[in-house]
Structure 1
Amino acid sequence: MEPPFLYDLAVIGGGVNGAAIARDAAGRGLSVLLLERGDLAQGTSSASTKLIHGGLRYLEHREFSLVREALREREVLWRIAPHIVWPMRFVLPLVNDGRPAWMLRAGLWLYDHIGGREALPPATRVDLTGEMGLRERIRSGFEYSDCWVDDARLVVLLARDAADRGAEVVTRCEVTRLAREGSGWRIETGGPNGGEPFRAAMVVNAAGPQVGGVLDRAHEAKPRLLRRVRGSHIVVPRLHDDPRALFLQLPDGRICFAIPYEHRFTLIGTTDSEEGADADPPRASDAEIAYLCDAAARYFRYAPTPADVVWSYAGVRLLADDGSGKPEAATRGYQFDLDRGPDAHSAPLLTVLGGKITTHRTLAEAALERLGIEANAGWTATAPLPGGDFKPDGLDEADNVLPIEQEIAAIVRNLPPGTAHRLARAYGTEALRFARADMGRDLGHGLSEAELDHLVTREWAMTAQDVLWRRSKLGLRFDRLQADELAERLGALA
């Protein structure tokens, strides 16, 4: 007798694509298993530039359908997660060695009109004389709209919503072997939370840069040439007090962003390099750090040096090889490879290639459609993520979370400065789950025992890295002693 399949669908990979597919499938009534070898968003999905954007530069590569799809998603994601997604204005300075003004004006007009923009304000010409800490030679430019996202928290909330809808989410559980068994899959696992094999009728391989390894364990051929591209970022002390971000054109034709980050810092990135992309975990190289500092120096009066970098990180994007010469020109669109097995009764294996954070929701819909799952399609466009069940009143993220911030401050005694705002922005209305008069001991910079308990019991946090760098960015403020004490505490809770 054929063994019973405990799950309709198993998703391998706890990044943004895997979590989005698990959420969508669970919301359609499927029994779902989500497996992640490390922590949620531990890889590429927490190493992005943290933007929900159409990708203005992709217009140069004529990826109009990708840009249109991504632009349509900006306001969808803002509506369903207004605590972790919010509008941001981007300034594109005019420089002598950059694209001409007519080209930028035309591109921004197209950017404003092909994606269904509604609430976000349109592009406009701006005077930059003496603005944003820019060099004196930079006097004018353009300003346009996109959105910012807390990328790692997005992944956690997708997984949380999937679990709330019935999915089983297992982290620290590495797939060691995949095998077709009857008309389904047997999934063997290892790691701290591995053990008994799982069984599922269908499998989605959404392991990002590790999709090839998953296919090796299933003894399946890799679908096509895959391209691994590393993107690196640096964080430096705040370069200007303006809330707008900068879109920087560089002499080699590349671009990067300089984005206000965590109130006291500026995030600069990204690079595109195929060298060292096989490292696990990937790291920003000295050459990339110097490159990003040089990029900032071309624009800012007070430019950072490598010695000013307080944090650097890198992620690897797995892209389908479309024959592009330069890595920055390779498509960021997503593709699927569907292996239906040797006969009509075999269990399907769907491999996800490429994609970007902005299009995670539509990628999930398309993945389920490829598997023949059509019931209740589109529900994720209107259902809020946990904590996002409030309507933003305007374009300012501080104003939008202010009512939640005030409610937290009214409940909790003696909050450190800025903590109510951080909690409202990170958790939205979910913060009211654990807010109480006495939040317990302050473990550093406003991280309380009550918040830590929420992260452990509701958000799968197990280590200090999970808490300080993925569930929050308090790692920028914690000193070594505080981080060690947190690690010891989490070890005691395990």
Structure 2
Amino acid sequence: MTSETQTIDLLVIGGGINGAGIARDAAGRGLSVWLCEKDDLAQGTSSRSGKLVHGGLRYLEYYEFRLVREALIEREVLMNSASHIIWPMRFVLPHSPADRPAWLVRLGLFLYDHLGGRKKLPGTRTLDLHRDPEGAPILDSYKRGFEYSDCWVDDARLVVINALDAFEKGARVLTRTAVASARRDNGAWLVTLRNSETSETSTVRARCIVNAAGPWVSDVILNVAGSNSSRNVRLVKGSHIVVPKFWQGQQAYLVQNDDKRVIFINPYEGDKALIGTTDIAYEGRAEDVQAEEFEIEYLIKAVNRYFKAKLRRSDVLTSFSGVRPLFDDGKGNPSAVTRDYVFDLDMTDNVPLLNVFGGKITTFRELAERAMHKLDRIFPQMGGDWTETATLPGGEIPNADFESFSETMREAYPWMPRALLKHYGRCYGARSSRIVGSATALDGLGRHFGAQLYEAEVRHLVNEEWAQTADDILTRRTKHGLHLSADEKAAFSSWFNAEYAARAA
């Protein structure tokens, strides 16, 4: 234990998108902030999403008009703040007469185009799937389709750059640090933190705690803070599969399965496709979640219902599953459970605990802003709203014009292969030069581990972005793990573990 306990304004529990977003917003208002995550940043739900910033077209069917409108507005805000990791994507929706009628789909897309004041993205258009090239991979039995706009996002990097912005504004970011206990003590929270790597403990006094622990939000309330809440979280599992890309073009597809659920089929990492998601009530430990065989078969069946190319189980390169911590609104159907968020402010003994239930990646910034509004009377001295027009680290690109920025990168590094330029640009945006440094040739980037992974990037991720394991780098900070062979991943892990052990020693 440290002999002297520091006092801070805000302790944020949970290093997913909501926790990182709240820490960033609070630090930018001038509060002293610590962000604690028991594992790695985005290790839970926030790295296991469908990688979309979207309004949620299917939520219109459940009359979630306000939620969809707010998400569509946020879609444009986020495009401006981080155009290197968030970019437009066109989605093709083949119409199946056996499912939703065409007039209902057209009405939904009309609302989707107009609810959020769309400015940047092109609107919906009707497709003749037998004539338009987007229909080429679709079975001939589907004649009509629709094409609409949404956005892609690198979800884990969105979390990391929010944490990075919080850090640059004065917050302390503690990964692999769990909150072992928290109790109200003389007008503040007395919190014990435990480092999961060293088992060392420390204490801090916090005037307020924000519990943004996602699937673990209820556990923090009951077992860590010893508190109660009338709110409950509903755990819903969503699984995805990754397969080789089986169509031409950059368009994505949205298909309706025979159970009325919709499945996204998105281009992923250049030569792959990301397919998901399932929606299944989940009651196990969030740490143990994984895609089950029946989910994988379900997704394959949904694809094969529409596409000429038939997927087989052997085509699945990998799969992942996440637990969505949805606010329990009493709906029986997991697909119908609201994706909205709810706050619960516990002011017992005038020592605040703000619990966050639900939410989705697209609305994280607005959620963070509204969370701070809940704490207005607790921190009357803090600054006002600021994130709506602010860029995120790497997003400092003039007019959010990534294409022009890419041309500038090509001029700055004419020696760099196009694929590597694209990787740095899409991961680090305007801060790519921090990885490249003074290098004037590939040799200057250090050891090459395969694909686009060089030592210079690894050093940056360890020194600047809290990466501590090979998986932090291969799976979350980047997606190199999808492009390296098994032998290359093993060699990198061996090198990294040796380097990390040397650094730790």
| Fold similarity call, TM over 0.5 | yes
Q: Residue 228 of structure 1 contacts residue 317 of structure 1 at CA under 8 Å; is this kept in 2?
A: yes
CA distance in 2 between partners of 1:48 and 1:287 (Å): 19
Task: Indicate the residue corresponding to 1:339 in structure 2.
Answer: 346
Q: Number of residue pairs matched?
A: 483
Query: Structure 1 252/339 Cα, relative in aligned 2: closer, same or farther at 3 Å?
Result: same
Give the fraction of aligned pairs with identical amino acids, expressed as a percent. Answer: 48
Structure 2: unaligned runs, 5 residues or longer:
none
Q: Residue 14 of structure 2 contacts residue 36 of structure 2 at CA under 8 Å; is this kept in 1?
A: yes
Structure 1 runs, 4 residues or longer, greater than 6 Å off: none
The one-letter amino acid of 2:123's match is: P
Task: Indicate the residue corresponding to 2:488 in structure 1.
Answer: 482
Task: Indicate the residue corresponding to 1:27 in structure 2.
Answer: 28
Cα distance per residue 1:309-366 (max 9 Å; x no partner)? 101001001112111121010000000111111x3xx320001000000000000011
Q: Residue 129 of structure 2 contacts residue 143 of structure 2 at CA under 8 Å; is this kept in 1?
A: yes
CA distance in 1 between partners of 2:422 and 2:407 (Å): 10
Give the counterpart of 2:267 among 243, 260, 263: 260
CA distance in 2 between partners of 1:479 and 1:182 (Å): 56
CA distance in 1 between partners of 2:286 and 2:293 (Å): 15
The one-letter amino acid of 2:467's match is: A
Query: Structure 1 132/386 Cα, relative in aligned 2: closer, same or farther at 3 Å?
Result: farther
Instruction: Return the offset for 1:417.
Output: 5.0
CA distance in 1 between partners of 2:77 and 2:265 (Å): 25
CA distance in 2 between partners of 1:400 and 1:244 (Å): 22
Of 264-273 and 472-481, the range deviating more from structure 2: 472-481
Task: Indicate the residue corresponding to 2:363 in structure 1.
Answer: 359
Task: Indicate the residue corresponding to 1:213 in structure 2.
Answer: 219
Query: Structure 1 469/400 Cα, relative in aligned 2: closer, same or farther at 3 Å?
Result: farther
CA distance in 2 between partners of 1:429 and 1:417 (Å): 16
SS of the residue corresponding to residue 29 of structure 1 reads: coil
Q: How does 1:9-48 map to 2 (within 5 A)?
A: 9-48=10-49
Q: Residue 81 of structure 2 contacts residue 400 of structure 2 at CA under 8 Å; is this kept in 1?
A: no
Structure 1: unaligned runs, 5 residues or longer:
none
Q: Does 1:201 align with 2:202?
A: no
The one-letter amino acid of 1:94's match is: H
Q: How does 1:92-111 map to 2 (within 5 A)?
A: 92-111=93-112
Task: Indicate the residue corresponding to 1:384 in structure 2.
Answer: 391
Q: How does 1:395-406 map to 2 (within 5 A)?
A: 399-406=403-410
TM-score (norm 2): 0.92
SS of the residue corresponding to residue 127 of structure 2 reads: strand
Instruction: Return the offset for 1:242.
Output: 1.7
Q: Does 1:371 align with 2:375?
A: yes
Query: Structure 1 408/354 Cα, relative in aligned 2: closer, same or farther at 3 Å?
Result: farther
CA distance in 2 between partners of 1:269 and 1:444 (Å): 28
The one-letter amino acid of 1:72's match is: I
Task: Indicate the residue corresponding to 2:299 in structure 1.
Answer: 292
CA distance in 1 between partners of 2:479 and 2:276 (Å): 17
Query: Structure 1 207/275 Cα, relative in aligned 2: closer, same or farther at 3 Å?
Result: closer
Instruction: Return the offset for 1:489.
Output: 2.6
CA distance in 2 between partners of 1:393 and 1:222 (Å): 42
CA distance in 2 between partners of 1:275 and 1:360 (Å): 23
Instruction: Return the offset for 1:250.
Output: 1.0
Q: Residue 92 of structure 1 contacts residue 247 of structure 1 at CA under 8 Å; is this kept in 2?
A: yes
Q: Residue 18 of structure 2 contacts residue 368 of structure 2 at CA under 8 Å; is this kept in 1?
A: yes
Task: Indicate the residue corresponding to 1:180 in structure 2.
Answer: 184
Q: Residue 452 of structure 2 contacts residue 480 of structure 2 at CA under 8 Å; is this kept in 1?
A: no
Q: How does 1:110-121 map to 2 (within 5 A)?
A: 110-121=111-122
SS of the residue corresponding to residue 448 of structure 2 reads: coil
Instruction: Return the offset for 1:116.
Output: 1.3
TM-score (norm 1): 0.94
The one-letter amino acid of 1:320's match is: F
Q: Does 1:282 align with 2:289?
A: yes
Give the counterpart of 1:306 among 292, 304, 313: 313
The one-letter amino acid of 1:138's match is: Y
SS of the residue corresponding to residue 196 of structure 1 reads: strand
The one-letter amino acid of 1:192's match is: E
Task: Indicate the residue corresponding to 2:70 in structure 1.
Answer: 69
Query: Structure 1 407/458 Cα, relative in aligned 2: closer, same or farther at 3 Å?
Result: farther
SS of the residue corresponding to residue 301 of structure 2 reads: helix
SS of the residue corresponding to residue 174 of structure 1 reads: strand
CA distance in 1 between partners of 2:186 and 2:9 (Å): 14
CA distance in 2 between partners of 1:54 and 1:367 (Å): 21
Give the counterpart of 2:477 among 471, 485, 489: 471
Task: Indicate the residue corresponding to 1:152 in structure 2.
Answer: 156
Instruction: Return the offset for 1:282.
Output: 1.0
Task: Indicate the residue corresponding to 1:315 in structure 2.
Answer: 322
The one-letter amino acid of 1:301's match is: K
Q: Residue 139 of structure 2 contacts residue 306 of structure 2 at CA under 8 Å; is this kept in 1?
A: yes
Cα distance per residue 1:170-209 (max 9 Å; x no partner)? 0010111111111111111221265211221110000000
Instruction: Return the offset for 1:28.
Output: 0.5
